[in-house]
Amino acid sequence: MGYASNGAGRAAHEALLARHDAELRLMETMKRSLQAKMKSDREYALALSAAAAQGQKMDKCEELNGSVIASAWRTMTEEWENTSRLIKANAEALDSRALDRLNTLMTERRKARKVYQEDHSKISSQFTQLSEEVQRKQSEYQKCLESYKQMRAKFEENYLKCPTSRGGRKLDETRDKYGKACRRLHRAHNEYVLLLAEATECERALRTASLPALFDQQRRLGEATASSWKGILMEVVQRSDFGTEKFKEIQNKIESSVQNLRPQEEYKEFIEKYRSPPSTPISFNFDESLVEDTSGKLQPNQLTVDNLTVEWLKEKLTELETILQDNREKQTALQGPEIIGNGVCKNNNTGMTNGVNGVDRHSPPPIPVTTAEPVKLLELRVSERKCARQAEMIRAALAELGCEEAPSGCPDLSAEVVGVDSLDGSSPDHQDRSSLGSKASMDALRLHLHSIMPPKPFFRMFTRPFRRKSVPSSPALPPKTYRSSSEGPSDSVSVSETERSLVDQEWFHGVLPREEVVRLLRADGDYLVRETTRNHARQLVLSVCWGQHKHFIVQTTPEGHYRFEGAAFPSVGELIAWQRTSGVPVTARSGALLRRAVPRETWELNNDHVQLLDKIGRGNFGDVYKARLKTTGQEVAVKTCRVALPEDQKRTFLQEGRILKQYQHPNIVRLIGIAVQKQPIMIVMELVPGGSLLTFLRTRASNLSSRTLLAMCRDAAGGMRYLESKNCIHRDLAARNCLVGDDNIVKISDFGMSREEEEYIVSGGMKQIPIKWTAPEALNFGKYTSLCDVWSYGVLMWEIFSKGDTPYAGMSNSRAREKIDNGYRMPAPEGCAEDVYALMLRCWEYEPDKRPHFHQIYTIIDNIYNR
């Protein structure tokens, strides 16, 4: 710093002043930071106190009398309150002590800087005055010397004219003037010599004594300031230390209360207080009134085996046996190979010979309950007991039937209704019967049959089970159209629709995000099917608008069929078609009905129609390809999303497509579509031949005139003016995110960070923010508006006119940010016109309200271009 005598120069003086300024800025920064810390400490103390109060709300709950856990929790919340008070007290102490001391130190430092500058100026002015006096005396000496030379020349001339007499008036006068000139010269000489000696001694004193003493005084003052500064920091440390004795005492008290818990005493008082005999078993009895009108076909507490139920009973038995087998395997895994069921050992062969897959046909023994058994094992045993009981009843009912043909489960309706077989026109002798001959009556009967048996493949399920023996077999139903008998859609469902592949269904929207789905479903009964991934497994989801938006996972049976709560179908298309036509809610609890299928929008493309060609880049979410649309042959650019990305990042990826699909402007890259039918998700955009503007500028710098660069700025301003009118904040405007098309037209691209809001506040951190392109208010407060894009546009203009140079070259992000806050702005690029640079500076105004809007920027650039 130049505190020694050999450093008391001009450079040291300027460096010392700069150091003073830097220290004052550091103190100001510390002051703001301490104020923020005190604010956060007070808020934390308040929040902790609120948490303690919340935790103490159960304190007077009578049901928890005697609870050791509640007692420990009470102690913990009380100590939270004490911690809150201690933190608040520390914050107040910092405010009243450390912050006051820092303010005082700042005042003293400013005063010391002023005194130093005055003292240094005084010493410097003394030396300057002496130097000026030496120059003045030297000039006076020079004049005396010239006068002396003139008088001597005149004297010698007159003396030579009168060589004999050596006298005369004129010679005397000349001699007198010559003598005076000689005296003045000698006096000036002596004064000059003495002044030089004075100046030499003064300079030596200033250089070796005064300035070093001044600098040494500043060193001592600096050390004293640093000592006070250290004291302030130490107080901050002490007031921020959670390891002090007071905090340790609180923590030890909390830890002690928890460590002293005796779990075996938790329910001791409760059990003693509420000790009571076992509850009375609940009896479940069949309501016999339900079967009074079934003509004896259905009997209480007995399974009915007929052609309506035999197939279902067999499938149910198979399902129960599968569940029992899985149950046994899970129990073996939980408790070991010796236990295989309800406490039945492998070596016990009693009652096992008549079982299926090793399951006893007789009622299982009571479930043994021990405190050592895990709850999961007990749950498995309860489940096994229920399944075993149902399987036993089904096997007994099927055994009684033996090999006989299953009896008809329908009453003889031939005298009352048209036979079911007449639906396909195969029984003309019945066609004149009219009791239930109407189309509506048959639809009602068909829906009733749907409700009491699991269907075979849709549109063939009415042809076999209900055909009477006296009626000849008829062919399966031809492709035909059905409508729902309840309130439903006006459109119809055909066989060809249900047999199409899932991707071809108009209501299948692939991996469309949930947010887009909610936007598409507007009226009650609107529905679509989409695909999602949960725990790395693909799942199909039916999304329905019914009061609110509901989402149902399509369940898959062991046979590979699809269902919700009711019947299962071989394909999702048949399941959706049946749900729509039957008028049956998707689930009883939701009551949601399917009325109108929401078709894919025009921008939803089929992944199979996109042929990837060459990889042309890489983005944040995946690779970028040149591709071709198979349907039109058009070459396009395709952004892909990596399959392994989390769902939230996939939503962020698709956000660019959601924003772009509504924009049409020559200076905005055009969206062609989004392929979401399957993975990977693709955003398909127009292929802009010139590629990135940044690369274009760097590779063609020598061929770009100022007028061309100005036109590029105008294009970018036109695109941003359009976005501003749509309340879209780009947030990542830079040359790397612009594309160059035909005739050097610039198009704004990369909307991954964009937001459609007038003002957007970032609350989740500032990761991946382009620091050197981002406005100060966005960096400091997370507040984004279109005026933040104006700041970025100024940097983009600088990039364009510097032909691809890096902004704030040689500076780190933090250094650039600090210099911008201190007023630094990049100099004009070489060859940049003054009015263009003036516009850049207007875009870089620190206060957002002082920056021009994009419609003003476009007008300014257009006027410059047209000049």
The one-letter code for the residue type at 636 is V
Residue 232 sits in the same domain as residue 341: no
Please, which pLDDT band fits residue 472 given cuts at 50, 70 and 90? very low
Where on the phi/psi map is residue 853: left (φ > 0), alpha (ψ -120 to 50), or beta? beta
Residue 760 sits in the same domain as residue 629: no
Residue 671 sits in the same domain as residue 703: no
Each residue of 230-268: pLDDT tens digit? 888 888 888 888 877 888 888 888 888 788 877 877 767
- Is there a binding annotation on residue 639? yes
Mean pLDDT taken over the chain: 78
Domain membership of residue 173 (yes or no) is yes
Each residue of 25-63: pLDDT tens digit? 998 998 888 888 888 888 988 988 888 888 877 655 666
Each residue of 311-350: pLDDT tens digit? 788 888 888 888 888 888 887 777 654 433 333 333 333 3
Residues 797 and 843: their CA atoms lie apart, in Å, by 10
Residue 672 sits in the same domain as residue 708: no
Could you tell me if 791 and 817 are in contact, meaning their C-beta atoms sit under 8 angstroms apart?
A: no
Which residues make Cβ contacts (< 8 Å) with residue 500, sequence separation at least 6?
573
Distance from the first to the final alpha carbon of the chain: 53
Residues 479 and 854: their CA atoms lie apart, in Å, by 61
Please, which pLDDT band fits residue 66 given cuts at 50, 70 and 90? confident
- Is there a binding annotation on residue 376? no
Residues 592 and 590: their CA atoms lie apart, in Å, by 5
The H-or-E segment that residue 122 falls in is helix 99-161
Closest CA to 158 of 147, 174, 146: 174
Residues 127 and 665: their CA atoms lie apart, in Å, by 70
Each residue of 98-141: pLDDT tens digit? 888 889 888 988 888 888 888 888 888 888 888 888 899 899 98
Could you tell me if 710 and 836 are in contact, meaning their C-beta atoms sit under 8 angstroms apart?
A: yes
Question: Which residue would you say has higher pLDDT here, 186 or 764?
Answer: 186
Residues 551 and 514: their CA atoms lie apart, in Å, by 9
pLDDT score for 544: 96
Domain membership of residue 733 (yes or no) is yes
On the 0-12 / 13-18 / 19+ scale of CB atoms within 10 A, 826 is buried
State the pTM of this model.
0.43
Bridge-partner residues for 684, per DSSP?
Answer: 638, 673
- Is there a binding annotation on residue 767? no
Residue 171 has pLDDT above 90, yes or no: no
Residue 107 sits in the same domain as residue 127: yes
Domain hosting 207: range is 9-239
Residue 676 sits in the same domain as residue 703: no
CA 525 centroid distance within chain:
32
Residue 174 sits in the same domain as residue 48: yes
pLDDT score for 309: 81
CATH number at residue 778: 1.10.510.10
Which residues make Cβ contacts (< 8 Å) with residue 300, sequence separation at least 6?
286, 288, 291
Could you tell me if 588 and 575 are in contact, meaning their C-beta atoms sit under 8 angstroms apart?
A: no
Residue 701 sits in the same domain as residue 730: yes
Closest CA to 729 of 765, 713, 753: 753
Residue 715 sits in the same domain as residue 672: no
Q: Which of 220, 239, 258 is the last residue of a domain?
A: 239
Q: Which of 401, 416, 449 is the last residue of a domain?
A: 401
Domain membership of residue 540 (yes or no) is no
Bridge-partner residues for 611, per DSSP?
Answer: 628
Could you tell me if 755 and 728 are in contact, meaning their C-beta atoms sit under 8 angstroms apart?
A: yes
Q: Which of 199, 222, 239 is the last residue of a domain?
A: 239
Residues 141 and 640: their CA atoms lie apart, in Å, by 89
- Is there a binding annotation on residue 616? yes
CATH number at residue 614: 3.30.200.20
Q: Can you tell me which residue has the tokens 């935790």? A: 55
Could you tell me if 773 and 734 are in contact, meaning their C-beta atoms sit under 8 angstroms apart?
A: yes
The helix/strand count (H/E) of the chain reads as 21, 16
Please, which pLDDT band fits residue 8 given cuts at 50, 70 and 90? low
CA distances from 323 to 75, 336, 635, 843 (A): 49, 19, 54, 70
Instruction: Write out 23-86 in H/E/C secondary structure.
Output: HHHHHHHHHHHHHHHHHHHHHHHHHHHHHHHHHCCCCCCHHHCCCHHHHHHHHHHHHHHHHHHH
- Is there a binding annotation on residue 633? no
CATH number at residue 153: 1.20.1270.60
Catalytically annotated residues: 732
Domain membership of residue 185 (yes or no) is yes
Residues 628 and 606: their CA atoms lie apart, in Å, by 13
Instruction: Write out 515-540 in H/E/C secondary structure.
Output: HHHHHHCCCCCEEEEEEEEECCEEEE
pLDDT score for 297: 66
Burial code (b: 16+ CB inside 10 Å, e: under 16) for 327-340 equals bbebbeeeeeeebb
- Is there a binding annotation on residue 835? no
- Would you state the structure tokens that stand for residue 277, as one six-digit string? 């005999």
Q: Is 773 helix (H, G, I), strand (E, B) or coil?
A: helix
The total domain count for the chain is 4
Cα angle value 745/747/749 (rounded, 5°): 160
Least confident window among 76-80, 204-208, 554-558, 725-729: 204-208
Closest CA to 595 of 686, 714, 445, 490: 490
The one-letter code for the residue type at 864 is I
- Tell me the range of 279-288, 369-378, 402-411, 597-606 where mean pLDDT is highest: 597-606
Please, which pLDDT band fits residue 669 given cuts at 50, 70 and 90? very high
Residue 676 sits in the same domain as residue 700: no
Residue 403 has pLDDT above 80, yes or no: no
Each residue of 516-533: pLDDT tens digit? 788 889 999 999 999 887
- Is there a binding annotation on residue 623? yes
Residue 116 sits in the same domain as residue 221: yes
Domain membership of residue 117 (yes or no) is yes
pLDDT score for 766: 57
pLDDT score for 670: 92
Domain membership of residue 171 (yes or no) is yes
- Judge if the upstream peptide bond of residue 680 is cis by omega within 30 degrees of 0: yes
Least confident window among 156-165, 215-224, 609-618, 747-756: 156-165
Which residues make Cβ contacts (< 8 Å) with residue 757, sequence separation at least 6?
727, 729
Each residue of 258-297: pLDDT tens digit? 888 778 777 677 677 767 676 677 777 887 777 766 656 6
Residue 188 sits in the same domain as residue 319: no
Please, which pLDDT band fits residue 815 given cuts at 50, 70 and 90? very high
Query: What proportion of the chain, given as a percentage, has pLDDT over 70?
Result: 79
Could you tell me if 675 and 607 are in contact, meaning their C-beta atoms sit under 8 angstroms apart?
A: yes
Domain membership of residue 338 (yes or no) is yes
Question: Which residue would you say has higher pLDDT here, 678 or 430?
Answer: 678
- Is there a binding annotation on residue 621? yes
Domain membership of residue 342 (yes or no) is yes
Each residue of 671-710: pLDDT tens digit? 998 888 788 889 999 999 888 999 999 999 888 999 999 9
pLDDT score for 535: 66
Could you tell me if 52 and 78 are in contact, meaning their C-beta atoms sit under 8 angstroms apart?
A: yes
The one-letter code for the residue type at 803 is K
Least confident window among 195-199, 721-725, 727-731: 195-199
